[in-house]
Amino acid sequence: KNQVEQSPQSLIILEGKNCTLQCNYTVSPFSNLRWYKQDTGRGPVSLTIMTFSENTKSNGRYTATLDADTKQSSLHITASQLSDSASYICVVIAQGGKLIFGQGTELSVKP
Amino acid sequence: ETGVTQSPTHLIKTRGQQVTLRCSSQSGHNTVSWYQQALGQGPQFIFQYYREEENGRGNFPPRFSGLQFPNYSSELNVNALELDDSALYLCASRAPNTEAFFGQGTRLTVV
């Protein structure tokens, strides 16, 4: 069964601090892995896209890593801001284009 | 701004009624997929359309149906609404071999 599991389920950090979100997957084969940011009640917005041959991808304060051998990905957020408060969803795209979602990590950044 | 627009943004329906949700995609986005996202959960795949034909379906009953039109718009229809159908409904569209872009979602409440 294809699965994408994220941890932690929720996270509270202080403004300015760094954090790392984890994603483990069993989808095989897959074409690429994406991290999305989803504000409450809104659609997900893409942060990073990585193919299985890429190890790291950065987008401003967001850095995603991918280890295709262990089937793990992480999203590191540096110097967090209040606007980073959102749900972060790991999505694995199986061959054929089907999107398989993790359940998300709810991040709350406090002043 | 993802170029994918959903309407309406919010909707309240009574149990047993029928509802139609709409999604307008960018030109050239010939693949559209629909997702149901319950509060605090990751999106669940409902179905996918490619060139106006359904080419993938998740674990949803037949009362969930869809249409895709030549102008890159699509619909999600839900008959005989149940209380558990209350959720955020997301559509995502993409052109061949490109990433998917999500709409902002329609929040459906069934009372």
Say yes or no to pLDDT of A1 above 60: no
Q: What is the pLDDT of residue B47?
A: 93
Given a cut of 80, is residue A95 above it in pLDDT?
no
What's the pLDDT band for A20 if we cut at 50, 70, 90?
very high
Helix (H) or strand (E) holding A92: strand A86-94
The answer to whether the CB of A14 falls within 8 A of the CB of A109 is yes
Q: Which of A41, A46, A89 sits opposite B88 (nearest CB)?
A: A41
* Contact flag B2-A45 (C-beta cutoff 8 Å): yes
User: What whole-number distance in Å separates Cα of residue A10 and Cα of residue B40?
Assistant: 10
Q: How many angstroms separate the CA atoms of A92 and A75, rounded?
A: 14
Cβ distance of A41 and B100 shorter than 8 Å? no
Report chain B's C-alpha Rg in angstroms.
13
Q: What is the pLDDT of residue A2?
A: 56
Tens digits of per-residue pLDDT, A30-89?
878 999 999 988 889 999 888 888 899 999 999 999 998 899 999 999 999 999 999 999
Asked if B56 lies within 8 A of A44 by C-beta distance, the reply is: no
pLDDT single digits (tens) B15-63: 999 999 999 998 888 899 999 999 888 899 999 999 899 988 989 999 9
Residue from B5, B30, B102 to probe the interface with A (highest A Cβ count within 10 Å): B102
Give me the mean pLDDT over the A2-31 stretch: 92
